[in-house]
Amino acid sequence: MKRIALISEHASPFGILGGVDSGGQNVYVGQLAKHLAKRGYRVDIFTRRDRALLPEIADWSEGVRLIHVPAGDPIEIRKEDLLPHMQEFTAYMLRFCRHTHYDLVHANFWMSGLVAAELKRVLQIPFVITFHALGRVRRFHQGGNDEFPDERFAIEDRLVQEADRIVAECPQDEIDLIQLYNADPHKITIVPCGFDPSEFWCLDKALARVALGMNPDDRIVLQLGRMVPRKGVDTAISGFAKFCENTSAQLIIVGGELNDSDPRIAKEVDRLTAIATELGIVNRVHFVGRKGREVLRYYYSAADVFITTPWYEPFGITPLEAMACGTPVIGSKVGGVKFSVADGETGYLVPPNQPDAIADRLSHLYAHPTLLENLSRQAIRRANDLFTWQSVADSMANLYQSVLIDPSGALDSGMVIDRGFNSVITAMQSAQRCLQTELTQAATLITNCFTQNGKVLICGNGGSAADAQHCAAEFVGRFKIPNRRALPAIALSADSTLLTAWSNDVGYDHVFSRQIEAFAQSNDLVIGISTSGRSKNILEAFETAQRLGIPSIGILGGDGGHARSLCDLSIVVPAKDPQHIQEVQIVVIHLLCELVEAWVVNHEQQPKRQRLRLQNRNAASELPLTVNY
C-alpha cells in the first residue's frame, strides 16, 4: 500500500471556505485525498496549525489523516506572510518523515513545493507539484496589488526544474509553465480540478427556491466565490445592472456579507455594495454570506444562470459545481474557466472586465428559454463526463505510478490496466465532443468521390500504414452491408516493391507523392493518416494532391502539425499520446466506413427505386382496357 504526503501549507480541507485565503485549493486537497484513499492509498495532509485547539494528528476520513504542523504562532496568518515560517514547517516534516515512510510527496502551492524539494534532497522522496497559481501570472494581472515576496519567482523556477512531475490544471496552465518558466513539456501532465457528484446534482428549481425562501417566478442570477477583487464580482454586478435596464431580475452573491468577521471580506463587500448602489440596483443585489457546502447545491439549482468573471483564474471549481447542478455558466475567457466551460455548449465565455458582454449574454439566454434548457442538459453531461473527483484521482494515481514504477520492473498490473482504460476513455469522450462535424464532412467527401466513379488513395507510416490498409480493405470488401459493390480504394503503403525501390533509389519522402502522380484522376480523393501531422512523405502527398487539384482529408492527432494546413479537411484527434491518437483514429476510420457505405448504397438504390416506380407506371398505362380471350 503506497503512502502519499500531501502538503498544503495554507489551505486545509478543514478550513472555512469563502475566506480570502480559503477556496478551491482547500476543496482540491480534501477531495483528492479522499478519492485516493478509495483507491487504496494511505494519505496524510500536512497543513499549518492556525488554531491552538487543533490536534497535531487527526483522522479526517477513512485512510486520510490531517497533520497540523507548528509553523509560527497558532493563529491565522495571511498566506502572503507565510514564507518566513516555512523553515520551521520543513524541519517538522523532516522529523516526521524519518519516522513515517512516504513513497511520494505531492506539494500544493509554491511554498509547499519548497518543503517538498528539501524532503527530496535530504530523504530522496520524489515529489510532484500542483502550483494552483503561478507567481509571474499573478504579478502580471495584479501588479502592485500582489503582495507575495519577489523570492517567489526564483523559488518557482527552482521547483519547475527539481519536481519529478508537474501537474497543470488546464491547457493555459501548461502553456504558462512552458513559456514563463521554461518547464520541460514531458514533465507536465494536465489533471483538472473536479466536483463530487454526491455533493452537487440538479435539484428541482422550484423546490430549491422554496427551500431558500426565494420567489419561484423571479429571474435569478448567481455569483459564488471568494470575496477578493481578482474574482471580478464588480464586473458581474455592472453587467447585471446593464441587463436590468430592460428587465427585472435578482443577483444572489454567496461568499461574504457586510458584517463579515474577516475585515478584508467586509471591506470588499462594502466596496461592491457601493457599486450596486451607484448603479441603482442595490435592492436587486443580495449578499447572503458564506454557506456550508451542503447548502450550495440549492443555490446553484435555484439559479437560472451562474456568473464567474475573474481577471484570471488558474482553474476555478465553482463553474463545475454550477454545471453539475444544471446551471449554464457565463464565465471570463481566462485560464481554467475557458477549459471547463464549453462556449455555446454549457454556457458562454466573455472577455474579462467587459460588463456589456455579460449583459448581452444574459439577455440572449433569457430571450431563448429552450436554449437555456439545452445548455443545462449539456452542462450536466460535460461535468459528469470529464470533471468528477473520481476521474481526477484516477488520473493523479496514474501520474503517481509513472513516478513510482519499481526499479526492478515489477508493476501493479491492475493499476496499469485501469490507467490504460481510463485514459483511452477520456480520449474517446473528448473526440466524440469535438469531431462530429468533421466526421460528417469527411464522410460526405468520400461518398461524393465514390458516387462520381472516383477512387480513394490512402497513405500512412508504421501503424498508420496498417490503418491505411485496413481502411482500404473495408471499402473494397464490406464493412456492414452485404452484397454491395466494391468501393475502389488503394493503400499506397501496400506495394512493397515500389516502396523499397523508390526509397532506396530516390528517397522515402517521395514514395506516396509518386504514386499519387501515377494513379490520381480528377474524381479521386487522397486520405493521409498521421499521429503528428509532420511526416515528410505525408506532407508531400498532400502538396502533390493540392497541385493536381485532388481533394484531400487528413486524419491527424495532437495539434495536426503542418499537414493540417495542407489538406482540404482535417480530422484532428484531441490527444497528445500517440497511443491514444491511434486508438481514436481507428474508431474514426470505422465511423467513416460505416457512414460512407450506408450513404453510397442509399444513393445507388434511389435510381433503382425511381426506375421501378416509372416502369410500374408505364406498364399500367399500356394495359388494354378490355381483355379478349
The one-letter amino acid code at 547 reads: R
Q: Reply yes or no on whether the pLDDT at 443 is more than 90.
A: yes
Closest residue by Cα to residue 233 from 264, 283, 268, 258:
268
Q: Is the pLDDT of residue 145 over 90?
A: no
Confidence bin at 503 (pLDDT 50/70/90): confident
Q: What percent of the chain has pLDDT over 70?
A: 92
Residue 412 binned pLDDT confidence (cut-offs 50, 70, 90): low
Mean of the per-residue pLDDT values for the chain?
90
Delimiting residues of CATH 3.40.50.2000 domain(s) in the chain: 3-190, 205-386
Q: Which residues of 280-289 are buried (b: 16+ CB within 10 A; e: fewer)?
A: ebeebbebeb
The continuous run of DSSP H or E covering 26 comes out as helix 24-38
Per-residue model confidence (pLDDT) at position 144:
84
The reported pLDDT for the residue numbered 21 is: 46
The alpha carbon of residue 442 and the mean position of all alpha carbons in its chain are separated, in whole angstroms, by: 25
Tell the residue number behind the cell numbers 481502411, with chain if given: 471
**Which one of 141-145, 165-169, 500-504 scores highest in mean pLDDT?**
165-169
213 CB-contact burial (10 Å; exposed 0-12 / middle 13-18 / buried 19+) = exposed
- Residue 529 three-state SS: strand
Instruction: Please choose, from the candidates 533, 527, 552, 546, the residue with its C-alpha nearest in 3D space to the C-alpha of residue 475.
Output: 527
pLDDT tens-digit readout, 21-40: 456 799 999 999 999 999 99
- Residue 371 burial by Cβ neighbours in a 10 Å radius (0-12, 13-18, 19+): middle
pLDDT band at 616 (very low <50, low <70, confident <90, very high): low
CATH class of 436-605: alpha beta
Is the per-residue pLDDT at 281 higher than 50? yes
pLDDT tens across 203-247, in order?
999 999 999 999 999 999 999 988 888 889 999 999 999 999 888
> 325-334, 603-612, 616-625: lowest mean pLDDT where?
616-625
Find the mean pLDDT for residues 428-432. Answer: 87
> Where residue 414 falls among pLDDT bands split at 50, 70, 90?
low
pLDDT at 622 (0 to 100):
42
Q: Each residue of 337-384: pLDDT tens digit?
A: 999 999 999 999 999 999 999 999 999 999 999 999 999 999 999 999
Per-residue pLDDT reduced to its tens digit, 112-123: 999 999 999 999
Distance CA 295, CA 346 (A): 23
Asked if the model's pLDDT at residue 100 lies above 90, the reply is yes
For the segment 571-591, the average pLDDT, to the nearest whole number, is 91
Q: Domain 205-386 carries which CATH code?
A: 3.40.50.2000
Measured distance between the N- and C-terminal CA atoms of the chain, rounded to whole angstroms: 97
Residue 438 near residue 36 (C-beta atoms within 8 A): no
The answer for 360, left when phi > 0, alpha when psi is -120 to 50, beta otherwise, is alpha
Beta strands in 263-412 (DSSP E): 285-289, 305-308, 329-332, 347-350
Residue 607: the pLDDT is 66
- Please give the pLDDT value at position 86: 97
Residue pair 548/516 in contact (Cβ under 8 Å)? The answer is yes
- Split at pLDDT 50, 70, 90, the class of 418 is low
**What is the pLDDT at residue 609?**
58
In which residue ranges of the chain is CATH 3.40.50.10490 found?
Answer: 436-605
Measured CA to CA in angstroms, residue 292 lies from 212, 233, 256, 288, 304 at distances of 13, 20, 12, 12, 21
Q: pLDDT value at position 474? A: 96
Could you tell me what percentage of the chain is helix, strand and coil, using 3-state DSSP and rounding each to the nearest 5? Answer: 55, 15, 35
Task: Check if CATH label 3.30.70.1070 holds for domain 3-190.
Answer: no
Distances (CA, A) of 316 to 157, 166, 411, 464, 513: 24, 18, 35, 39, 49
